[in-house]
Copies of this chain bind each other. A is one copy, B any other.
Amino acid sequence: MDIATVVGFILAYVVIGAAIMMGGPFILFVNGPGMLLVIGGTFAVTLMGVTMSDFLGSFKIGLKGVFYKLDVPQNLIEESVELANVARKEGILALEGREISNSFLERGIGLCIDGHAPEIVKNLLTKDINMSINRHTVGAGMFKSMAVYAPAMGMIGTLVGLVQMLSNMSDPASIGPAMAVALLTTLYGAIIANAFASPLADKLILISGYEKRNKDMILESITGIQEGTNPRVLKQMLMAYLPESKREVEE
C-alpha cells in the first residue's frame, strides 16, 4: 500500500484544523444544516448523474485507489521470464497448475494452456484491460463530479444564507455572524472538493495508469511466452517498461 494518500489526507486536515483553531473557537465552524446541505446535496446530485451500481461501486474503487497494492513491475518481469524459461524448455502445458502471483498473468497463461489461438488470447486480454480502465475512469469521473458539485452546493448554501440575512437586517449586530454562517457552506464545499474529491480522482487516474502499464507488460510477456520468444530477449523487452534508474539495478 502506498501511504501518500493517507498521509496527505491527514496532513491536509491537520493544517486546516490548525489554521481554524489558531484564530478562535472551533465551534464557530460547525454548522449542522450547512453540512447537511453541502455533503447531502453533493452526494444527491452526484448520484443523479450515475447509476446506482456505479455510485456504490465507485466508493469501493476509491478505497481500492487508496489501499490497493500494485504488483512491483520488477517482480512481474522476473516471474514472466521464469515462466518463459519453463515454457520454452518443457512446452506451455508445463505451466499448468503452477502458482502465479498476479491474477491477470494467471488468466493469460490459463488461456494459453487452454489452447486458444494467440490472436484470441490477445483480443480477450486487451478487452480485460479496457474494461478495467473503463471502470476506473467511471470511478474517477464520479469523484471529479463531486469536486465540481461540492463548491456549487457551497455557493447555493451561501446564497440561501445571504438572501435570508439581507431580507432581515433590522438588527445590525447580527449581520456579521449571519454572514459568517452563510460563508461556512462555501468553505465546506471548497474543503470537500480540494481536500477529498479532487485529489482522490487524481490518484485513481494515476493508479489506473500504473495498472495499465503493468497489464500491458503482462500482455507482452504472455504474447512472448506463447510465441516462444527467447527469454533473454523477452526480459529486455519487458525491462523497457521500467524507468532507466530501476533497470540498471536489475540488470
Given A127-B240, A131-B240, A19 and B4 contact (CB-CB distance below 8 Å): no
Chain A 235-251 per-residue mask, 1 if CB under 8 angstroms from chain B, else 0: 01100111110000000
B177 touches A52 (CB 8 A): no
Describe A's contact surface by its main secondary structure: helix
| CB of A72 to closest CB in B, whole Å | 11
Q: Which of A20-28, A74-82, A83-91, A94-102 contacts B (4 or more CB under 8 A)?
A: A20-28
Q: A37 — which chain B residues lie within 8 A by C-beta?
A: 15-16, 18-19
B160 touches A194 (CB 8 A): no
Chain A 52-83 per-residue mask, 1 if CB under 8 angstroms from chain B, else 0: 11110000000000000000000000000000
Q: A155 — which chain B residues lie within 8 A by C-beta?
A: 190
Given A12-B41, A237-B123, A240-B124, A203 and B164 contact (CB-CB distance below 8 Å): no
Number of copies: 5
Given A22-B33, A48-B199, A199-B46, A163 and B138 contact (CB-CB distance below 8 Å): no
Bound Cα distance from A138 to B23, whole angstroms: 37
Among A167, A168, A183, the one with the most B-chain Cβ atoms within 10 Å of its Cβ is A167
Bound Cα distance from A243 to B4, whole angstroms: 28
B206 touches A187 (CB 8 A): no
The one of B20, B49, B161 that contacts A160, using a Cβ cutoff of 8 Å:
B20
Nearest 6 A/B pairs, CB to CB: A49-B202, A8-B48, A8-B47, A48-B199, A11-B44, A166-B180
